[in-house]
A and B are shown apart, each in its own frame.
Chain A
Amino acid sequence: MRKKIIYAILVLSVLPFFTLRTFGQEVTKITPYVTLQYLKNSESKRILQTTLTYSKNRMEIPLQGMEISLFTGTEKKETIAHVVTDNKGIAKFEITGDTKLISDKSGAWTFTSEYNGNDSIDAGKSEIVIKDVNLEMSLTLVDTIKTITVKATVMENGKEKPAAGEVVKILVPRMFSNLLISELTLDDSGSATAEFPSDLPGNKEGNLTVLAKFEENPVFGNVEKSETLKWGLTTDYSVPKSHRALWTKTAPKWMIYTLSVLLTGVWGHYLFALISLIRININAKRKAREEYKI
């Protein structure tokens, strides 16, 4: 017993030190992961997309509602915009004609995405260098074969040059992701051709979108060119509204008929029995009246 008390006192006296130490310790900050992407879509709209995430148990977790600053230029940086991340940790900014961009001698732009950090999160940044590429795509029927031709040129030192040796992906956008049709390597003239499959379903009218894309190209970023046309098979999917089945809202007809016939038969007989009861009652009353008269 004594031993126990001494032990307890010992523990209790040491405990405050431990607690103090824990409080004194600095809370470890999150190291965020910043990415920056350049997107140029089919309408030549340019978008800077930056993400802010961190890694926990090998899972990527977005940081929401964070302000990120976007800059252009290398030595002398100029602020383009401040954006706030959404619930997926993504923030986007569209580059318009009003946006002042600083290009280097070769005509490339440098973009920087910077997060300043706060009490619990460290600062972080990401930088990309982008050359403006011009991607062209033409879709033609060659002897009934659906043929895709792509051509890409880059402005370098004020001159237009073919983007030889680069890879362009031909994709078809689907509900959740893009379906890869083929991967083309551009030849010396900056062009390439591919055959489009003949058995790919489109929508109800057979329309689908063909998308040519530089995907995460280290020099060009993400650059897209797309066109929607009737190159797919028509898919007609409709469930008739008055569809009768076991698992729909309305029952098969035979079921309704059988049930009605059975129920009418049975309840008809019940009615007969009920009427019989009433007849007995009426008969009894009549008899009573007759007796009364006599």
Chain B
Amino acid sequence: MKDEAENVSDGSSRRNFLKKVGVGVGAISVTGIVGSSLLKGNEAKAKSGKLVKLLSPEGKLVEVDQDDIKSAKGIQPADNETVEQHKLEARAGLPNRKFAMVIDLARCKNARKCVEACQEGHLLPKDHEWMRLYLLQDDSTTSKYWFPRPCFHCDKPMCVSVCPVGATYKRADGIVLIDNQRCIGCKFCMTGCPFSARVFNWKDPEVKVPEGHVYDPETNIPATEGTVGKCVFCADKLRLGELPRCVSACPMGVIYFGDILEDTVTNGNETERFSKLMTDRAGYRYREELGTLPSVYYLPPTQRMFPVESGLEDTDKSIKDRYKKVGPR
């Protein structure tokens, strides 16, 4: 059997891929500015000067130089070769990286911004949440605490072991992804995962995918009926050197993310040494005894910033209903 990882060289074809596909999800994409403007600051002068009115993603009328716009129609669909090449890269992962997440339970107050950002960022339908917030209580004598749960991206992932068709896979950088064009929907991975991290598309998700968008296992957009979905650690963002959506969205800085090989994690504002955080705050992994070796670490809810009840204060009834059956277990 040929290892798919062998076929992958570097990130260069990803860039081609992005160029051909158009950048991601936004309704309009502006070229020539992202990243390259640092060296070509004067570029703006060379523009056509014709301003075009456009509706921004926030629904506001904005004016944009004509040259900056690649209209949705203008996006060239990526050719098959590029898509296939990218699929191989999405299977191999980023070279010499090993990602980890640290979740500080002391700061979480069920603000649910991580959930919202995740749902929006991955165009997920309602009732199909990748990020979940649990209100845990280990025993009636111990205290309740909020417990955000992404996919743990285990190093010995049971879900990957049991997949009969190799639709879900473990990458060298530690990320576990699903190719939902391969998934047959047997749901074995869902029973295999001890952390309920996987969700199934029980019906057609009815996602409005931007025109010209090409399926990419790193975002798993669009969700497909009859297949399994789960948190992807925002592998697409990592490829661009950006933090996962839930990390940037959290107003409390609950979620740290980083490359464990660099011994560094950040929540966007604070950057800490991973090992120091583990030592100082007695970091742990959820249900270590199951031996799946998660890539997500937790800092115990000591000296909390918010009382646990505050997590249900400003929430809708529909959210409160989700925490009716809470008790020690």
Contacts and interface: CB of A to CB of B under 8 A. Distances in A.
Our verdict on whether A and B bind, yes or no, reads yes
Interface of A: 30, 47, 56, 58, 61, 63-67, 81-87, 91-94, 118-121, 172, 174-180, 200-201, 203-204, 235, 237-239, 241-242, 245-250
Given A83-B44, A84-B47, A94-B41, A201 B54 contact: no
Contact of B60 (A30, A175, A178, A235): A30
Contact of B41 (A47, A61, A176, A242): A47
Contact of A237 (B29, B161, B261): B261
Given A63-B62, A65-B68, A177 B41 contact: no
Given A65-B54, A241-B6, A179 B62 contact: no
Given A180-B271, A247-B161, A120 B30 contact: no
B157 interface: yes
B266 to A, nearest CB: 4
A84 B44 contact: yes
A63 B271 contact: no
Contact of B161 (A65, A67, A174, A246): A246
Chief secondary structure at chain B's binding surface: mixed
A92 B62 contact: no
Nearest to A70: B41
Contacts of A81: 41-42, 44-45
Given A91-B44, A92-B37, A241-B3, 4 more contacts: A85-B33, A177-B266, A200-B273, A241-B5
B64 A248 contact: no
Contacts of B157: 247
A176 B241 contact: yes
Interface in B25-45: 26, 28-30, 33-34, 37-39, 41-42, 44-45
Nearest to B166: A249
Contacts of A121: 60, 62
Interface residues of B, number: 58
A94 B38 contact: yes
Contacts of B261: 201, 235, 237
Contacts of A87: 23, 26, 29-30, 33-34
Contacts of A47: 38, 41
A239 B272 CA distance: 26
A200 B56 contact: no
Contacts of A92: 37-38, 41
A119 B61 CA distance: 8
B26 to A, nearest CB: 6
Contact of A174 (B30, B38, B166, B258): B258
Contact of B56 (A63, A177, A178, A204): A63
B257 interface: yes
Contacts of A93: 41-42
Given A86-B33, A247-B157, A242 B3 contact: yes
A61 B249 CA distance: 12
Contacts of A30: 60
Given A87-B29, A93-B42, A178 B58 contact: no
Contacts of B64: 64-65, 84
A209 B1 CA distance: 40
B235 to A, nearest CB: 13
A235 B96 CA distance: 9
Contact of B258 (A56, A67, A176, A238): A176
B65 interface: yes
Given A174-B259, A242-B3, A66 B62 contact: yes
A85 B34 CA distance: 9
B160 A84 contact: no
A175 B29 CA distance: 25
A201 B262 contact: yes
B98 interface: yes
A135 to B, nearest CB: 20
17 contacts: A64-B62, A65-B28, A66-B63, A83-B44, A84-B33, A84-B47, A92-B38, A94-B41, A118-B63, A175-B97, A175-B241, A176-B242, A176-B258, A238-B172, A241-B6, A245-B156, A250-B1
